[in-house]
Amino acid sequence: MFISDCRREFYDVIVSQRVLLLVASDVDALCACKILQALFQCDHVQYTLVPVSGWQELETAFLEHKDQIKLLVKQDDDLGVPAYDDIFRDDEDEEEDSENESEGSEPSEKRRRFEEDIIERTMKRRQRREWEARRREILFDYEQYEYHGTSSAMVMFDLAWIMSKDLNDMLWWAIVGLTDQWIQDKITQMKYVTDIGILQRHVSRHNHRNEDEENSLSIDCMRIAFEYDLRLALYQHWSLYESLCNTSYTSASLKLWSVQGQKRLQEFLADMGLPLKQVKQKFNSMDMSLKENLREMIEESANKFGMKDLRVQTFSIHFGFKNKFSASDIVYATASLMENIEKEGPETTNFIKALDSLSRGNLDKLHQGLALAKKQLRAIQQTVASCICTNLVISQGPFLYCSLMEGTPDVKLFSKPVSLCLLSKYLLKSFVCSTKNKRCKLLPLIMAAPMDVEQGTVIMVGIPPETESSDKKNFFGRAFEKAADSTNSRTLHNHFDMSIIELKTEDRSKFLDALISLLS
Amino acid sequence: ILQGDLGPFNPGLPVEVPVWLAINLKQRQKCRLIPPEWMDVAKLEEIREQERKEDTFTPMPSPYYMELTKLLLNYASDNIPKADEIRTLVKDTWDTRVAKLRLSADSFVRQQEAHAKLDNLTLMEINTTGTFLTQALDHMYKLRTNLQPGESSHSQDF
């Protein structure tokens, strides 16, 4: 169901009912869920929370609760929805004009009327055919590409704001949702900057209290601040050196998988005047004198080494004396918690843990997430380095292909969709920097990793090519479907993101061949 | 079961409500809490100085000052100006009073007094030392009765 007025058609309807929340396994969805939960708590709305990771689970949950469901609203990131009227024409009266009963009028009149009728009917038929053709075109365009619209957390925050129930906490979750989209490369830079601008206005509104003598706020109160921060993953909770090595942007630009790359890193650090010993220490223990103008210094040196976008507009949260986190930190931590391969209990514990870590009171979970995130980033960089050094990325014609072997270290981490997507994007970025083949730089990438050894399945992900002005539209969803159909491969298109599928290892080669011929 | 009427609630106008309701409404983001008038840096500084000067207990602005401070600072610190300073001041005053109480209890037990009178104590402070004091006195009594030779042939269990 498509809704235009969030408040009237959605919230006011559900606020008096018992609600079933089906939430996807995505940091953005988690943030939107937190905002909704906060709203529900304020208004005493009873709700049940069910995490779903794909269409099948959505269906099962729906069928389970079928008897009580009256209204289903799906939170979808894939917007770009064409106008309602273009697709669904309310049942038009297709009734043929009933034959005018001849009431004994003159034959010529009757004949005229008859002719008019025919003309009218043909006109209608032609219109309808044109409309159908247009509809098919629109649907084809709509379903061909997959891309993401506004973050659902931001949409929920908007809803809260319209009802004047927005809080600083909810604003923070909206920020994390948006940052998640940016980190996973789901939105264009333009969209990101625009949305940051929107959120910036809210941030100033909530956090404008100046620290004057009269009304200083308790240090425990949460504050959000806008930052033009470094694009280095988790750098404030790690050492600067580790962060430089494990962030895809710096690693790819400096080509850190090669020996020359390592040398360039040393040159880069020397250029900034940062001694190696300092830089390898935990960031918080670095000398204050070095940290003072760190951002400007790094930016200057980075420009010399070809890294023009080392700084990015983002927000950070601050509460208590030692808790300062940047939005991207939270995204990495939550995503790692959600896809933690160590199973501790029933299926949904990881989801619940990740959801909990978004609340400020659960700092221990957040720190656990940060530790897992560091492991994940390291694993990703090592895998990327080995793939590039051993030339595992091969061009298949219309796309690049890379497959992770079973014995690869940390390969289990990449049996999860979000981690695999992150790996693929970093790999593509690094590959584009490493190859000299101009044509290969513009190709999309398909990445495969073993998913379940016992069942012999492989998880496959397709990502669009890495270009400056990429609009981030992904056509692999349809392509995968078509290829699977034409080869009768046993595939599972379960994920909400259609460009992620699971298939049986035996069917892999014929599936790929079909894809190649499809996309050539 | 308690019953009562509260209100009327008009937006923008302050209304007095029981603490439990205030906290509940604040948690549901439906109101802003106004701190009591003694919860102010200058006043609390005065109270703290007063307490430090005197040997006995000075009257506190509210019989529930500690509970109120804790609740309000936990749930509504954004509505209280200079919350951190207030927290420190109240804690300082509390520490001074409890120290006095400990001294007094110590001399009471030592000198085997039969009864004592302390003014201006709040319930929270009394409960803090209460258990310890009564148990200490019980032990003292036990020890004392066992000292009396031959008075009672059977020991009493407490």
A218 in contact with B at a CB cutoff of 8 Å? yes
pLDDT above 60 for A55:
yes
Question: Inter-chain contact A218–B83, Cβ cutoff 8 Å?
Answer: yes
Q: Is beta strand A457-463 parallel, antiparallel or unpaired with respect to A445-452?
A: antiparallel
**Token pair of A438 as six digits:** 């101009």
Question: Inter-chain contact B77–A218, Cβ cutoff 8 Å?
Answer: yes
Question: Inter-chain contact B80–A218, Cβ cutoff 8 Å?
Answer: yes
For residue B81, list chain A residues with Cβ-Cβ distance below 8 A.
214-216
Question: Inter-chain contact A216–B82, Cβ cutoff 8 Å?
Answer: yes
pLDDT above 90 for A174:
yes
Residues in CB range of A24: below 8 A, 6 or more apart: A51, A52, A53, A75, A496
For residue A166, what is the nearest residue in chain B, using CA coordinates? B29
Task: State chain A's mean pLDDT as an integer.
Answer: 81
For position A86, what pLDDT does the model report? 40
Question: Inter-chain contact A218–B29, Cβ cutoff 8 Å?
Answer: no
Of the partner residues A42, A44, A217, the one whose CB lies closest to the CB of residue B29 = A42
For residue B84, list chain A residues with Cβ-Cβ distance below 8 A.
218-220
For residue A41, list chain B residues with Cβ-Cβ distance below 8 A.
28
For residue A221, list chain B residues with Cβ-Cβ distance below 8 A.
77-78
For residue B76, list chain A residues with Cβ-Cβ distance below 8 A.
none
For position A43, what pLDDT does the model report? 85
Give A104-163 pLDDT, tens digit per residue. 334 555 566 666 677 767 777 777 777 777 777 666 666 667 667 788 888 889 888 988
For position B66, what pLDDT does the model report? 92
List all residues of chain B from 79 to 98 with a beta carbon under 8 Å from chain A: 80-84
Domain boundaries of chain B, sorted by first residue: 40-137
Give B127-147 pLDDT, tens digit per residue. 988 888 888 888 888 888 888
Question: Inter-chain contact B30–A42, Cβ cutoff 8 Å?
Answer: yes
B73 in contact with A at a CB cutoff of 8 Å? yes
Residues in CB range of A219: below 8 A, 6 or more apart: A319, A320, A321, B84
**Token pair of A436 as six digits:** 């000299």
Tell me the one-letter amino acid at A231: R
Of A196 and B77, more confident? A196
Of the partner residues A42, A215, A221, the one whose CB lies closest to the CB of residue B28 = A42
Average pLDDT over residues A472-487: 84
pLDDT above 60 for A196:
yes
The CATH class, in words, for B40-137 is mainly alpha
Q: Are A230 and A295 in contact (CB under 8 A)?
A: yes
Best of A210, A214, A218 to substitute, by most chain B Cβ atoms within 10 angstroms, is A218
- For A317, other C-beta atoms within 10 Å of its C-beta total 22
- For B124, other C-beta atoms within 10 Å of its C-beta total 17
For residue B40, list chain A residues with Cβ-Cβ distance below 8 A.
none
- Rounded to 5 degrees, φ, ψ at A298 are -65, -40
B28 in contact with A at a CB cutoff of 8 Å? yes
- Rounded to 5 degrees, φ, ψ at A226 are -80, 135
CA distances from B42 to B35, B38, B50 (A): 14, 9, 12
Tokens 């409890």 sit on residue: B98
Nearest CA distance, B118 vs chain A (angstrom): 35
DSSP type of residue A316: E
Residues in chain A: 520
For residue A165, list chain B residues with Cβ-Cβ distance below 8 A.
29
Tokens 């080392």 sit on residue: A310
Nearest CA distance, B5 vs chain A (angstrom): 21
For residue B25, what is the nearest residue in chain A, using CA coordinates? A42
pLDDT above 80 for B8:
yes
Q: Are A168 and A207 in contact (CB under 8 A)?
A: yes
For position A82, what pLDDT does the model report? 38
Residues pairing with A401 in the sheet: A394, A446
Tell me the one-letter amino acid at A131: W
Count chain A–chain B contacts defined by CB atoms under 8 A: 27
Report the distance separating Cα A298 and Cα A232, nearest Å: 11
Least confident of A29-43, A83-97, A492-506, B38-52: A83-97
pLDDT above 60 for A83:
no
Average pLDDT over residues A95-99: 30
Q: Are A472 and A464 in contact (CB under 8 A)?
A: yes
**Token pair of B129 as six digits:** 């030392």
Of the partner residues A44, A165, A218, the one whose CB lies closest to the CB of residue B84 = A218
Nearest residue to A226 via CA among A190, A184, A196: A196
Give B34-83 pLDDT, tens digit per residue. 999 999 899 999 999 999 999 889 999 989 999 999 999 988 888 888 88
b/e code A188-202 from CB counts within 10 Å (16+ = b): beebbeebbeebeeb
Nearest CA distance, B94 vs chain A (angstrom): 20
For position A81, what pLDDT does the model report? 39
List all residues of chain A from 7 to 46 with a beta carbon under 8 Å from chain B: 41-44
List all residues of chain A from 405 to 424 with a beta carbon under 8 Å from chain B: none
Tokens 């059977």 sit on residue: B154
The predicted complex's ipTM stands at: 0.73
Question: Inter-chain contact B77–A165, Cβ cutoff 8 Å?
Answer: no
Question: Inter-chain contact A218–B30, Cβ cutoff 8 Å?
Answer: no
B29 in contact with A at a CB cutoff of 8 Å? yes
pLDDT above 50 for B17:
yes
Report the distance separating Cα B26 and Cα B20, nearest Å: 10
Of the partner residues B30, B77, B81, the one whose CB lies closest to the CB of residue A215 = B81
- For A251, other C-beta atoms within 10 Å of its C-beta total 24
pLDDT above 80 for A510:
yes
Nearest CA distance, A168 vs chain B (angstrom): 11
For position B33, what pLDDT does the model report? 92
Of A237 and A210, more confident? A237
∠ CA(A50), CA(A55), CA(A58), 5° rounding? 25
**Cis preceding-peptide flag for B11 (omega within 30 of 0):** no
Nearest CA distance, B23 vs chain A (angstrom): 13
Of the partner residues A41, A44, A217, the one whose CB lies closest to the CB of residue B78 = A217
For position B94, what pLDDT does the model report? 94
A217 in contact with B at a CB cutoff of 8 Å? yes
Give B117-128 pLDDT, tens digit per residue. 888 889 998 898
Q: Are A150 and A24 in contact (CB under 8 A)?
A: no
Report the distance separating Cα B16 and Cα B22, nearest Å: 9
Of B53 and B112, more confident? B53
Nearest CA distance, B29 vs chain A (angstrom): 7
Of the partner residues A41, A215, A221, the one whose CB lies closest to the CB of residue B77 = A221
Tokens 């690049």 sit on residue: A400
Q: Long-range CB contacts (< 8 A, 24+ apart) of B64-67?
A: B64/B122, B64/B123, B64/B124, B65/B38, B65/B90, B65/B122, B66/B90, B66/B94, B66/B122, B66/B124, B66/B125, B67/B124
- For A499, other C-beta atoms within 10 Å of its C-beta total 23
List all residues of chain B from 95 to 114 with a beta carbon under 8 Å from chain A: none
Residues in chain B: 158
pLDDT above 70 for B150:
no
Residues pairing with A491 in the sheet: A503
pLDDT above 90 for A369:
yes
**Token pair of B153 as six digits:** 């042939």
Give A289-322 pLDDT, tens digit per residue. 888 888 888 888 888 888 888 899 999 998 888 8
State the burial class of residue A519 (Cβ atoms within 10 Å of its Cβ: 0-12, 13-18, 19+).
middle
With helix as H, strand as E and coil as C, how does chain B read? CCCCCCCCCCCCCCCCCCHHHHHHHHHCCCCCCCCCCCCCHHHHHHHHHHHHHCCCCCCCCCCCHHHHHHHHHHHCHHHCCCHHHHHHHHHHHHHHHHHHHHHHHHHHHHCCCCCCCCCCCCHHHHHHHHHHHHHHHHHHHHHHHHHCCCCCCCCCCC
Taking only Cα atoms into account, the Rg of chain B, rounded to an integer number of angstroms, comes to 22
A360 in contact with B at a CB cutoff of 8 Å? no
Report the distance separating Cα B154 and Cα B135, nearest Å: 21
